[in-house]
Chains A and B, each alone.
Chain A
Amino acid sequence: MGIEFITLLIVISLLGLMALGVPLGVTTLTVSLATAMLYFGERAGFFIVAANVSEVLHKYELIAVPFFVFMANVLERSGIAKSLFDSMAILGGRFRGSVGVQTCIVAVVLAAMSGIMGGEIVMLGLIALPQMLRLGYDKKLSIGIICAAGALATLIPPSVVLIIYGLAAQVSITKLFAASAVPGFMLASLYITYILVRVRMNPSMAPIYDIPETGLPLFQRLKYMKGVILPAILIGTVLGVIYSGVATVTEAAAIGAVGALIVAAIQGELRWTMARDAMRQTVLTVGSIIWLVLGAVSLIGIYNRIGGGEFLRGLLTGLDVPPLMVIVVMMLIIMLLGTFLEWIAIIFITVPIFAPVVINLGFDPIWFGVLFAMNIQIYYLSPPFGPACFFLKSVAPKGIELQDIFLAVLPFIALQVLGLFLVLFFPQLALWLPAMLD
């Protein structure tokens, strides 16, 4: 049997099992165990799977994941996120579209404290969405803002997606964190520009919003700063520790987790039950991630051994197109996979194959990692499998259906694609910050 045929068989069985709702980790484990045993028989097949599965636990960087997830859970449960939103509303002042812009900015700040997508969207869906709808904001615009801006959590550092990418591509996570900051802010600015342009063209989409406090003079509004200061210090500490290279990403995540508890304590929100529940939630969230990684790593080991990596690399490097077009092809493949696969599975399936090709073509794998994370932004929003949309649906007021959400995010997907192409053609957008830090 040729490797082409095996590859096809593997893809079909993966898709089949996934479509039937088999957990993704189990799907990849099943396929890798079956391939291993068919190819190598019991002894060698068992060995190769066992060796790769156990090795996952040796990845030190992986333990930053529960820490960042815990940090995000504490911020949500302690009301820090909500008081940040309220403070921003008062500090922001009044202009057309102000609540939309403010939601974007709050999302960016939250993204700098959270490493996973989901919590933020739920939080903004509960606080900002009813607010905007009550004020007469256009429904689609409001939904789009929350899904798109809320998804920034994994592009703006810290980011679990970048941690997993760094592990799979064997590149510095610190550098990835530095490289993704500017593209993250750029996407946020694109969203804000879009909001301002839309509401200017069509003022009925966003009535001017008045709460009494915004009428106060600036210096009186400044006392509402306290909801902003503590999160700002926390962000500064965690990112400062990472960028300065003072500690590993894992240690920075631990500092962030402790810091989040301290901030909660200062705000009088720290309770043992709160911390305990935040951690139990963390256990459930990360508990499923590890099995995905185990399955993916095991599948990659087998696939490489039967010559699959070599085969796909050959396909990609054999393309008779300019190097940058090869990257574009890779981006399209990732987008395609993103319509039905989980992001961790996408990383582990594509990165070990793509990364060596990217390096061979003379590109920087850090830059490719940023492109990858931006592509994941698209994946979060795009139907039919758009996790960000599912998250919003779970908390949206009655009457907002999934198809409304999918329609609402379309313009923002266009902006994400625009952002992706900007970084694709101007790599300096991603690379100047890591270069500065070197």
Chain B
Amino acid sequence: MASQQILFSPAELAYLHRSLSLKPPIRPDGRAPTQFRPLTAETGILPGTNGSARVHFSDGTEAIVGVKAEIEKTIEAPRAEESKPESNEAASERTRGDWLELAVEIPGQRDDEASTVFLSEMLREALLADKEFAKKLFINRRFHWRLYLDVLLISPPLSYPLPLLSLTTHLALLATRLPRLKSEGDEDPMFDDDWEASTFLYPQEGTATNGSRPPITLLVVAIGDNVIFDPAKEELAVAETALAVSVAEVRRAQKAGDMEVDSKGRELSLLSIRTIDPPSRLTPPGVPHTSNTGSSAFAPTKLQKAGDQETEGVWKAPLGGTKFGVLDGIIQAVLEKGGVADEVLDGLEGVELS
């Protein structure tokens, strides 16, 4: 993040900050504060993968995700021998987070750069935060699936790519199918050859849809008193706080009677929060007109202290941290029933899975 140069002048930043802290904020692209950029999405674009997705944002950024699964032998922990008569249930609890390998590739950046690693750890963390995911990869006590999630940004990173990559990963995981298991118990796994019979990693509607769904990570910034979702590059450049909040829908077993209850809202669970270093801290400060020695008409009459006080309308990079109340407001805005997370999940549900 720090490596990205911000090419805005102090005057531009002051203007952006001013219009974004109005109530309601005026965003450069005319969106409402909770509105996402329009996107087009499709799944099943890569024939060689278990599941894939492509998402294209209206600002020209585009990402593809491919999911590939391999069978791997489970390495027994040295303690396992003591407790031989273990039920299948207990064994499935010995799942490990490193069964999932996630790689993020962003053009123009090295894959071991700190910001890229930060992005991939963030996506990985959200997936593994509830222990449900690793359980899906369990085959039997001797074998498990190893899932490779390759996230590729194919356009240059015009804005912070986190929401885009997260939504694409979400769709790809929803579209992921694994071959149907034919063998039973702890024998070597045998699979059904028929791809039509394969099962979805996250079961579809109609069947047992209990349990968690793949997470989405939303990027939220606070500017003044406003909470703004899915910030564009200009908005991130003046943000005082940027948070990445991962949420997932949890579906509970529902009886036949309460269909209406389900349609009203979904149950969201919070999986992870990370502060993102806002690039606004690296922006150049503006020089107030009164202390500008270059303008002869308003020559400074008295010595100004070294820029400690802020002048109205002159840009100064934010200093210090964020109040607890502001952070809490952001989290509440994400988790709100019928809020942005719901809207995004509704939109993604409309994407046809192939």
State whether these chains interact.
no
State the B residues within 8 Å of A (CB): none
